Amino acid sequence: MNNLNLSENLLRLRRERKITQEELADFIGVTKAAVSKWENRQSVPDLLLLPQLASFFGVTVDELIGYEAQMSKEQIRRCYAELCRDFAECPFQEVLEKTRTLVRRYYSCYPFLLQVCVLYLNHFMLAGSEEACRALLKETEDLCERIIRRCSDVSICSDAIAFQAILKIQQGEAAKAVEILEPITDPGRLSDQNDDLLIQAYQLAGETEKARSLAQIRLYIHLVSLVSIAIQYLELFKNEPERCEETIRRTEGLLELYQGEALHPNLASQFHYQAAVVYGENGKQELALRELSAFAEGVERILHGDLILHGDRYFDRLEEWIEKLPLGDQMPRDKSFIGQNVRAALAHPAFSTIKETEEYRKIYERIVGGDYHG
């Protein structure tokens, strides 16, 4: 066990809690000399004492002895996909307990913990009551905090910090999200241009293929980001119909130019849905129905199998990058779960004036299934 850092962990935990060797010895029922020998690698505690020591310090036995159970990238992906399916098909509490058991087992596998945060954020609404939903979001925050405090991988910590901000927004604490994000989000910082600089450096160094691949990845990312921000832009300016119409026209032109409906149907569907809401709220029924029809087409693409991230004939260098993503090409929610949310989306008050139309009925039955009864 010495090779597992038991002695160092005992010393660290005792000092963190400002406990003397004598106090620890009295609690465990051994001599002060025994504790001293444990901390100096001269001996190890009896196996039966490990649970008692772990309980005293409020850690797991694995943490106490320095054992870190780890999952491979492929194992994390398979586990995430399985839990997604479970959340869509099994009782929520049963799947939550299964997930918590895995968290306890892999409490030091920070890439896995981060994906559990993603999993919880995409399924917390299934918890039922508002209190239960908030409790799960708080549990997710605690996981993020553990990652930030204990993980040595800067990129994983950065993702966890960003995730904290997402959770604050989800819980209606926008001011706290601003506090988290402002110090790390500045468009004028040179570090935000690192990818552009790396493309140039690759090219000058004669590594043309790397330059081409990175340039294509950045183009794809900026395209996705631009459409995502356009969705937010529509919400921000929903009371300015002319600006919204221009935003819709330009963004749909971008989607057409880059074949975004096929390239990223999930994102394109989100945009068409938000456009439909804006048109509906501004009393433009025909345009709202047009956008809802485009939304329905995207949902059909997703439900019929087009749920994975992918490139196309133009974006033909994305595979290696997608493979390196934490979840690879899989989406964060199971297909059946997405289908369950369509009914709620179509019930938006913005569509109250078109719900009795034949066009709306056809759209509803097309993607929800069954007869529409208004």
User: Residue 320 pLDDT more than 60?
Assistant: yes
329-364 burial, b at 16+ Cβ within 10 Å, e below that, comes to ebbbbbbebbbeebeebbeeebbeebeeeeebbebb
Q: Could you tell me which residues come within 8 angstroms of residue 219 by beta carbon, excluding any fewer than 6 positions away?
A: 315
Q: Can you give 327-356 as a three-state secondary structure string?
A: CCCCCCCCHHHHHHHHHHHHCCHHHCCCCC
Tens digit of pLDDT for each residue in 205-216?
A: 999 999 999 999
pLDDT for the residue 108: 85
- Structure tokens, 210: 């790397």
The pLDDT confidence band at residue 337, using thresholds 50, 70 and 90, is low
User: Residue 187 pLDDT more than 70?
Assistant: no
Phi, psi at 280, each rounded to 5°: -65, -45
pLDDT for the residue 60: 83
- Structure tokens, 98: 């299964």
Tokens 């293929």, residue located:
209
User: Residue 3 pLDDT more than 60?
Assistant: no
Tens digit of pLDDT for each residue in 125-144?
A: 999 899 999 999 999 999 99
Tens digit of pLDDT for each residue in 73-103?
A: 999 999 999 999 999 889 999 999 999 999 9
Q: Could you tell me which residues come within 8 angstroms of residue 12 by beta carbon, excluding any fewer than 6 positions away?
A: none
pLDDT for the residue 2: 38
Mean pLDDT of the chain: 89
pLDDT for the residue 247: 98
User: Residue 352 pLDDT more than 80?
Assistant: yes
> How far apart are alpha carbons 223 and 217 in whole angstroms?
10
> How far apart are alpha carbons 152 and 142 in whole angstroms?
17
pLDDT for the residue 1: 38
> How far apart are alpha carbons 136 and 96 in whole angstroms?
9
Tens digit of pLDDT for each residue in 238-258?
A: 999 999 999 999 999 999 999
Tokens 């772990």, residue located:
54
User: Residue 156 pLDDT more than 80?
Assistant: yes
Report, as an integer, the average pLDDT of 157-178. 93
pLDDT for the residue 91: 95
pLDDT for the residue 339: 64
Tens digit of pLDDT for each residue in 254-308?
A: 999 999 999 999 899 999 999 999 999 999 999 999 999 999 999 888 877 656 7
pTM of model > 0.85: no
User: Residue 153 pLDDT more than 50?
Assistant: yes
User: Residue 367 pLDDT more than 80?
Assistant: yes
pLDDT for the residue 183: 82
